[in-house]
Structure 1
Amino acid sequence: MFKPIRMPIMLGSIVDRRSTSGYFTFVGGNLVTWRSKKQKVVSRSSAEAEYGGMSHGVCELMWLRKLLKDLGCESKKAMNLHCDNKAAISIAHNPVQHDRTKHVEVDRHFIKEKLDAGIVDFPFVKSEDQLADILTKAVSNRSFHSCLDKLGIRNIYAPT
């Protein structure tokens, strides 16, 4: 029922050093939501920036899960949030505090709670397969069109 949310690598702006996060949400193979947003705070590491984005993604999944339950489509399976940052995935699975988590304490507890409850899972996806990168950074023309194909986005003006 649930398809993965795709989270991108977070890149800081050279002007204000704030990262941009973005994601796509799929239900039953269909793209239903997407978002790209500059984060409100400057992150001290890419893992911290990614983890902040993961927190927003988990919130989106929780909202979507509640909406689908209200519509009579409840699923007991964990929802996948694909992430291309191994450090952020490690922080989600590891309850031990370490230096990278001191600035993300609230997000760390929120995500760990949902992970332990089996509501979400964080499979690793290679950066070159990360669809949401087109929302957060410049990608090559080939990568851009490959992502559009995978998202099912077609040129409505192209001749059939």
Structure 2
Amino acid sequence: MCAATSEVLWLINVLKELHINVMLPIDIFCDNNTAISIAASPIFHDRTKHFEIDLFFLREKISAGVIKTISIESGNQPADIFTKGLDVYQHDSLIKKLNMHDVFGL
């Protein structure tokens, strides 16, 4: 989520330079409920000590209203189409969610 937040911040800055208004907060979908709860919780645990710097960054952007984390089921994660091999039905479902069209099928 920290890498996605960094990319979002970069895109916001590019759009601001182009004088395009950006509606905040930006939704970041995550299929890991534990990661969402750790990002939202101000308490550090023993298991989170090795990535505290990332958490400070992420929590700062959440509290500033730049991003908003949203839980999504693993089967409905649109990013899977770019990162995983999918069966035909799940692939077609994600294509529709992304509003993509087959230019060769026209």
Q: Greater strand share, 1 or 2?
A: 1
Which residue matches 2:91? 144
**Structure that is richer in helix per residue:** 2
Please give the root-mean-square deviation of Cα atoms over the aligned residues, in Å: 1.5
Partner of 1:122: helix, strand, or coil?
strand
Question: Which of residues 45, 52, 63 in structure 2 aligns to 1:98?
Answer: 45
Counterpart secondary structure, 1:135: helix
Q: Deviations over 1:87-140 (max 9, x none)?
A: 000011011111331221111111011111111110111222111112222322
Unaligned runs of 5+ in 2: none
Q: Which residue of 1 aligns with 2:7?
A: 60
What count of residue pairs does the alignment treat as equivalent? 106
Relative distance call for 1:155 and 1:76 in structure 2 (3 A) is closer
Q: Does 1:157 align with 2:99?
A: no
Task: Provide the secondary structure at the position in 2 that maps to 1:153.
Answer: coil
Runs of at least 4 residues off by over 4 Å: none
TM-score, normalised via structure 2 length: 0.89
Q: Is 1:110 equivalent to 2:57 in the alignment?
A: yes
Question: Identity of counterpart residues, as a percentage?
Answer: 37
